[in-house]
Structure 1
Amino acid sequence: MYSKEEVSKQKQAFWTAFGRYMKPVLSADGEIISWSNYKTGIPGIFFKLDAENRYVCISILITQADPQLHAAFYECFEMQKKMLENALGETDWEWEQDITDDYGKNISRIGKRVDGISILRTEDWPALISFLKERIVALDEYWSTAKYAFEALL
């Protein structure tokens, strides 16, 4: 069992390693980017990377407070589903509309999760990094053209 401090240090070490690994990778637009804190440029849309004790996941989160805009964002993702799947090379992402997050806030989430992998085991880090890198780079490729449809909704 790990103490909270040990878990915190291990997570910090992982995200530092991930950041260093991803630093030379440019965005689809050829720009330097912070991959672990990806900025979509659209308020209420986030790409979230998460690695925990028992799983790793990557998600598109819609947290827009305005219900009409929130719904419009989700609809826009639905309309672009084939484009997103083509960029990802995967069709097995989970789509969840109007769910409640850990803080009681209404969100929508499109994501992929793999269980049985741990940020606390350094031997799992290559698999974690590979999972996250492949998908965040693909999301960035998708977003480089898809974001304009979302901008038009603002």
Structure 2
Amino acid sequence: MYSKEEASKLKQSFWTTFGQYMASVPSSEGMKINWINYKTGFKHLYFKMDAGKKEAYIAIEINHPDIGIQELFFEQFKEFKKILEGYLNETWSWKLHTEDEHGKIISRIYCQIDPVSVFNQADWPTLISFFKPRIIALDEFWNMVKDSFEALK
């Protein structure tokens, strides 16, 4: 078992490694991008990657405090579900109005793998191989459809 400090350092080390690995990969628009803190340009809409001690996931998270607006975002994503799946080459899970780790109501479209652990460096290549193509695909998808979300800004 790791202390909180050791666990935090290991996680930080993984994300630093992932960031360095992805640094040379341009966005779909050919620009330099911070893949770890991907900016969608929309408040309360995030592309989130997380790795823990038993699993990892990548998600589109909608955490707007107004549940109705959150649902509108979710419905708009559903309109583009086939396009999203085309970019991802897989089907993701869709959860409208679920709780996050802090008990806040969010909506999430995600893909998860397990068993993997960010605390096991032997799993890092698996984690990187999981995150890389999916965050790149999300970027390509988002650049194609983001204008359709402008009315929800």
Common fold by TM > 0.5: yes
Q: What code does the residue aligned with 1:122 have?
A: Q
Q: 1:66 Cα shift? A: 2.2
Query: Deviations along 1:102-124, whole A, 9 cap, x unmatched?
Result: 22321100001111111111111
Q: What code does the residue aligned with 2:36 have?
A: S
Query: Deviations along 1:61-111, whole A, 9 cap, x unmatched?
Result: 0011223321110000000000000010112x1100011222232110000
Q: 1:151 Cα shift? A: 1.3
Q: Distance in 2 between matches of 1:102 and 1:54?
A: 15
Q: What code does the residue aligned with 1:70 have?
A: Q
Does the alignment pair 1:123 with 2:122? yes
Partner residue of 1:143?
142
> Which blocks of at least 5 consecutive residues in structure 1 are unaligned?
none
Q: 1:140 Cα shift? A: 0.4
Q: Deviating runs (4+, > 4 A) in structure 1?
A: none
Q: Distance in 2 between matches of 1:9 and 1:24?
A: 24
| 1:54-93 mapped onto 2 (5 Å cutoff) | 54-91=54-91, 93=92
Partner residue of 1:110?
109
Q: What code does the residue aligned with 1:26 have?
A: P
Q: Distance in 1 between matches of 2:18 and 2:31?
A: 18
Q: What code does the residue aligned with 1:106 have?
A: I
Q: TM-score, normalised by structure 2?
A: 0.96
Partner residue of 1:27?
27
> Which blocks of at least 5 consecutive residues in structure 2 are unaligned?
none
Partner residue of 2:51?
51
Q: Distance in 1 between matches of 2:31 and 2:142?
A: 13
Q: TM-score, normalised by structure 1?
A: 0.96
Q: Distance in 2 between matches of 1:78 and 1:18?
A: 30
